[in-house]
Structure 1
Amino acid sequence: MTPEEVATDVLIVGAGPAGLTLAALLARYGIDAITVSKFAGTARTPRAHITNQRAMEVYRDLKIEDEVNRIATPSDLMSNNVWATSFAGTEIARLQTWGTSIERQADYDAVSPSRMCNAPQHRLEPVLRASAEGQGADLRFGVELIEITQDEHGVRAVVRDESGVETLIRAQYVVGADGARSTVGEQLGFRFSGESGLGAALNIFLEADLSEYCAHRPGVLYWMTQPGNNYWVGSGTWICVTPFREWVNLSMYDPAEGEPDLSESALIERVRSTIGDDTVDVTIKSVSKWQINHVVAESYQCGRAFLVGDAAHRHPPAGGLGSNTSVQDSFSLAWRLAYVIRGLAGPELLATYDAERQPIGRKVVDRAIESVGNMGPIADALGFAPGQSIAEGWDNLEDLFSATPHGADRRAALEAAIELQHYQFNAHGFEFDLRYESAAVVDDGTDWPRNERDPALYATPSTHPGAPLAHARVQRDSALLSTIDLVGDGVFTLVTGIADGAWREAAATVSSELGVVIRVAQVAVRGEYDDVYGDWTRVRGVGDAGALLVRPDRVVSWRVTEEPEDAVAALRTALGAVLARA
């Protein structure tokens, strides 16, 4: 039987955080898209959970930031990383993370109006789904991609629903958001570099009320390490899903020594060993196995096909970079697809997605693997080793905390190992700073700002072309806003200073000529958006008559420090270059 045939502008394959974010954005931009997922619905287990400020800013643009915060654990309950022999056992070390320490909180507050949170994937995805469907997105769950091909004219995909009915979907473009085993990536010839199967892991989703052991040291991650076990992350990592009664217990295992026993009794025994209190009731909800990869697509574009999320970059969860990077991929791609499909940009604009996001993906997979390696010095400092007897292990731990010169030396080594974890859990600069270089950014010939502190740990907000617009507090009427609230929403924005008469005229003229909406936002002391604290003046990087052209993804695409001789011509040339319009 000939399959039913439907047509659309964009086919999105996969409905995880990346796919649903893209579906919501394209629907909002008025682009016809079909999203298919082979799964019956959204995620049923927590999976990804750490949600950083850049991802929250995407949700802010989608107008769902408050809803994400509602289903998430707030940052103050994410604070502590704890290393211990068990919840009830000896605490080994503690580190405040995700910018919650006294030393780091102001750094995080200063650069974004959005706060970090812990949004487990099985709670986040329904919020994204509701956002997409609320804007009219066509989401089709229980529909699997079977076959896909492309030519210079478009994409041809055969999908099959749960009842076996096949449909032929013709689209201008396809986006693979279908995870680490991407059918889009495999069938359309994307090339990947790196290694797969570097480690095997077990996730046990469970309920256990551990409030007694966590309320005084609230956190998301509790690392358990015991004598005789230093394999990868030790005896198991506890990930808090709902404080402090719902968890994921993660442990690594060596397949060469056999697969783990997945019976309920064995799982409960495994879990109880790191609780340290047999009176705590444990309920196993589900169990799954997965592997550690270090893989990135060599290009995020192949003809009319694009990759986002885990389809493009695959790495361990260290640093919580996975879903955060994924939704930013979609934020970066969505506006480009919309502008090209609507005829507002040349097709060459699409190539700038790969130019900007692929280097980010490569850095992320490398950073995640490095963070896993940085856990090794903790095990070395503790002195736990395979083959060690239980008695030897506890004697070793007692020596660590002894009032002896040897104990002091060992504690210094442990402290250094814990300090190294800042590069995983307080790597604000790595998480937050984006520096794009592509044809969709008009370089102004200036150097990027330098951070005298460690750039991996400390963010450097700026208005340099290729950077997301810096956050500053501004006021309109009696409402306090952020500068990032003045840009985005799928349109270009010209951010001006107090002397903006020529820029307003230029924006109106160029907008009319090119058919592209250019919003104008005057940010200045006593301006339309009042720089009441002087935040903007300190970071703006332009004079009173200068201007910034900000893309729909909130990235500065062009900067001019003072008013040029012909503002209309300057803006026309800049926007034409960004949109690949000769």
Structure 2
Amino acid sequence: MASNQNESPNGQSSDKGDIIETDVLIVGAGVTGLTLSLLLADYGVKALTIAKHRGTAPSPRAHITNQRTVEIFRDLGIEQDIHAVSTPLTALGNCVMSTSMTAPEIARYSCYGAGVHQLSDFARASPCEMINTPQNELETVLLARAHEKHADIRFSTELVAIEQDEEGVLATVRERLTYAEYRVRAEYAYGADGGRSAVADLLGFTFHGDPGLMNMMTCWIEVDLAQYAAYRPACMYWIVRPGNAFWVGSGTLITVKPFKEWLMNRQYDAADEPDMSKEAVIEYARSLIGIPDAPVRVKDVSKWQVNKMVAGEYRTGRVFIGGDAAHRHPPASGLGSNTCVQDAYNIAWKLALVLSSHAEDQILDSYGQERQPVGKQIVDAAIQALYNMTRLPEALGFRRGQSEEEGNAALAALGSDDPVAEKRRAELAGVVKLQDRRSNALGIQLGQRYSDSCAVCYDGTPFPAHRRDSTLFYEPTTHPGAYLPHVWLEHEGRRVSTLDIFPFGTFGLIVGVGGGPFVAAAQQVAQETGIAIPVYDVGYRCTYNDVLGEWRTVCEIGDRGALLVRPDRFVAWRSVDRPSDPLQALRSAVRHILGLK
């Protein structure tokens, strides 16, 4: 159930008629806004979050939570809370294709790291596993933890106007229940208000791409299908029937809670509005299930459009956008909410440093430099995955407008002992294999590299070339601008990941057995900048003992080298060997990253 929060949890009034002063105004309290609210509260940054909706998401919507996002939740201390409302994707590790839930299946493939040939790649890449987390459950956890941190989050409050100057941002907001208006003055503002972002519209952010490519309807339904699903547990059951050549075929049934709650997605023509009544939804659901009297309960119905859009810039003056406000794409590949969380994770520590006067405003430019290319990448990947799906009906011999008899005959012929059928089966196998780029895209999920950022001190070397398909496979590197690789270490008798070394929100310096001179250098730079830079020795018989020898294979530095890691776990600077003057080298790198002269 959606949470209703019309007043600040810390007891502050709406200050009607007054101007509320805050450091950051966050517009939108979905996945992006709630994540940023929680992060800033953890950093001790004063923020006000408003959202026009009455509460958190009323239906599951997004659901795929990838390993990188779970790592962020791990850093925030809510990994177990998220797991409690999720299903491991290894337990839903298939995609099943058929003409109905009760009909013989056409094809099946393993996905999200659940296949025997995928398990090791996913397990090596992260200490965390992929999970299926309904968006309404995710937002509830984020909101509860944000309230624990005394974050000021106000629902039923919409943005009316926003302007900015060199000194800050001034917004007018309206309480939708009382129609009372008041103003908010902030140092910075962040638009996390979704695909119809008022912030982006009012401040003239530019967008590239194509809106309104397709029209979709999503229905949250309840029906017990364990008899037809439990023996072939899947995250998605893809229903393709004769006479329907839409990109999702006749529809998809997405597992929300095995195997009783589902999201039913279907495409419709804009010129032929769908019947959204409960009776019509139930009838359509029964047709996909294949049982005329299946006891279906409708919990929610909504319409939306498939877009291919990414913002040209993520910053205009003192205002930023992120999440769906900045990148708008179909849910194919499950990249949406993950990128939302990661956008917030990227900017939160930078805002905290600037607002505490430990970094110059310039560091905030790196948010767009880093995240805009990622936004474009995931939009392109999602659209490509969508078009890859359109090839399935064609491979089955289905075409729009054909009779059911014609379609069934084409499907039956696919299984015949005929040279033509053998060729068609090979084509079908190729189309099914192509879906790996949708559901097993480990490289897209984890392999983000920031190649042009003012918050990274590059070493003049190129990123390592990919040895395998960069969409399907993640290849770790410690090159500046890459995410710190995960390997298991031993520390004080416990197994820990390299990602677990650093406390929340801190920089850290990783050194090897010869890294002693960096300790004094880090202490001196920390004293000069006010930024704590703890040093962690990692390697053979070090405090963080590389007992398996795995760090040595991925660290790409010598025993006398060093890695400076940012609060978001990206490598900010690297010294492959010990420089002649460790203090000056580290000082120069840190000052560059912070934008200090």
- TM-score, shorter chain, exceeding 0.5: yes
Partner of 2:140: 126
Are 1:70 and 2:79 matched, yes or no? no
Partner of 2:12: none
d(CA) in 2 for partners of 1:272, 1:578 = 57
Partner of 1:210: 225
Partner of 2:72: 58
d(CA) in 1 for partners of 2:537, 2:325 = 40
Partner of 1:333: 347
Partner of 1:404: 418
Amino acid at match of 2:551: W
d(CA) in 2 for partners of 1:524, 1:72 = 35
Contact 1:488–1:553, Cα closer than 8 Å, also in 2:
no
Partner of 1:414: 428
d(CA) in 2 for partners of 1:185, 1:47 = 23
d(CA) in 1 for partners of 2:92, 2:475 = 24
Partner of 2:280: 266
Are 1:171 and 2:175 matched, yes or no? no
Where 2:333 maps in the other structure, the secondary structure is helix
Deviation at 1:45, TM superposition (A): 0.2
d(CA) in 2 for partners of 1:452, 1:335 = 33
Deviation at 1:500, TM superposition (A): 2.1
Deviation at 1:310, TM superposition (A): 0.3
Residue 80 of structure 1, aligned match among 74, 94, 97: 94
Contact 1:87–1:275, Cα closer than 8 Å, also in 2:
yes
Partner of 1:33: 47
Partner of 2:259: 244
Contact 1:11–1:34, Cα closer than 8 Å, also in 2:
yes
Residue 162 of structure 2, aligned match among 141, 148, 168: 148
Partner of 2:10: none
d(CA) in 1 for partners of 2:477, 2:501 = 16
Contact 2:286–2:293, Cα closer than 8 Å, also in 1:
no
Where 1:344 maps in the other structure, the secondary structure is coil
Deviation at 1:252, TM superposition (A): 0.3
d(CA) in 2 for partners of 1:286, 1:451 = 44
TM-score norm. by structure 1 comes to 0.98
d(CA) in 1 for partners of 2:467, 2:556 = 18
Partner of 2:441: 427
Residue 532 of structure 1, aligned match among 523, 537, 547: 547
1:177-216, CA deviations, whole angstroms, 9 ceiling, x for partnerless residues? Answer: 0001111111111111111111000001110000001111
Q: How many residues align?
A: 581
TM-score norm. by structure 2 comes to 0.96
Contact 2:256–2:263, Cα closer than 8 Å, also in 1:
yes
Deviation at 1:280, TM superposition (A): 2.8
d(CA) in 1 for partners of 2:492, 2:347 = 34
Contact 2:358–2:529, Cα closer than 8 Å, also in 1:
yes
Partner of 1:227: 242
Instruction: Give runs of aligned pairs for residues 342-353 of structure 1, distance below 5 A.
Output: 342-353=356-367
Deviation at 1:264, TM superposition (A): 1.8
Are 1:370 and 2:384 matched, yes or no? yes
d(CA) in 2 for partners of 1:370, 1:538 = 34
Amino acid at match of 1:307: I
Deviation at 1:459, TM superposition (A): 0.3
Where 2:73 maps in the other structure, the secondary structure is helix
**Identity across the alignment (%):** 47
d(CA) in 2 for partners of 1:488, 1:276 = 52
Where 2:276 maps in the other structure, the secondary structure is coil
Contact 1:211–1:245, Cα closer than 8 Å, also in 2:
yes
Are 1:380 and 2:394 matched, yes or no? yes
d(CA) in 2 for partners of 1:2, 1:284 = 40
d(CA) in 2 for partners of 1:188, 1:153 = 16
1:364-385, CA deviations, whole angstroms, 9 ceiling, x for partnerless residues? Answer: 1111111111112211111111
Partner of 2:567: 552
d(CA) in 1 for partners of 2:480, 2:435 = 32
Contact 2:174–2:181, Cα closer than 8 Å, also in 1:
yes
Are 1:564 and 2:579 matched, yes or no? yes
Contact 2:90–2:113, Cα closer than 8 Å, also in 1:
no
Residue 450 of structure 2, aligned match among 432, 436, 440: 436
Q: Which runs of 5+ in 1 are unaligned?
A: none
Instruction: Give runs of aligned pairs for residues 10-29 of structure 1, distance below 5 A.
Output: 10-29=24-43
Contact 2:188–2:319, Cα closer than 8 Å, also in 1:
yes
Partner of 1:359: 373
d(CA) in 2 for partners of 1:241, 1:167 = 40
Where 1:518 maps in the other structure, the secondary structure is coil
Deviation at 1:239, TM superposition (A): 0.6
Residue 197 of structure 2, aligned match among 173, 178, 182: 182
Amino acid at match of 1:75: L
1:263-292, CA deviations, whole angstroms, 9 ceiling, x for partnerless residues? Answer: 222111111111012353110111100001
d(CA) in 2 for partners of 1:18, 1:498 = 40
Partner of 1:308: 322
d(CA) in 2 for partners of 1:369, 1:179 = 18
Stretch moving more, 534-543 or 299-308: 534-543
d(CA) in 2 for partners of 1:114, 1:450 = 26
Deviation at 1:66, TM superposition (A): 1.2
d(CA) in 1 for partners of 2:239, 2:46 = 49
1:72-101, CA deviations, whole angstroms, 9 ceiling, x for partnerless residues? Answer: 111222200000000101200001001111
d(CA) in 2 for partners of 1:381, 1:169 = 56
d(CA) in 1 for partners of 2:426, 2:87 = 33
Contact 1:503–1:567, Cα closer than 8 Å, also in 2:
yes
d(CA) in 2 for partners of 1:366, 1:447 = 24
Where 2:208 maps in the other structure, the secondary structure is strand
Deviation at 1:488, TM superposition (A): 5.6
Where 1:431 maps in the other structure, the secondary structure is helix
Deviation at 1:449, TM superposition (A): 2.1
Where 2:563 maps in the other structure, the secondary structure is strand
Where 1:505 maps in the other structure, the secondary structure is helix
Are 1:281 and 2:295 matched, yes or no? yes
Where 1:145 maps in the other structure, the secondary structure is strand
Partner of 2:104: 90
Contact 1:450–1:460, Cα closer than 8 Å, also in 2:
no
1:132-162, CA deviations, whole angstroms, 9 ceiling, x for partnerless residues? Answer: 1112211111111111111111000111112
Residue 510 of structure 1, aligned match among 516, 519, 525: 525
Where 1:318 maps in the other structure, the secondary structure is coil
Residue 318 of structure 1, aligned match among 295, 310, 332: 332
Amino acid at match of 1:402: S
Q: Which runs of 5+ in 2 are unaligned?
A: 1-14
Residue 494 of structure 2, aligned match among 465, 479, 493: 479
d(CA) in 2 for partners of 1:212, 1:402 = 29
d(CA) in 2 for partners of 1:537, 1:135 = 39
d(CA) in 2 for partners of 1:289, 1:77 = 29
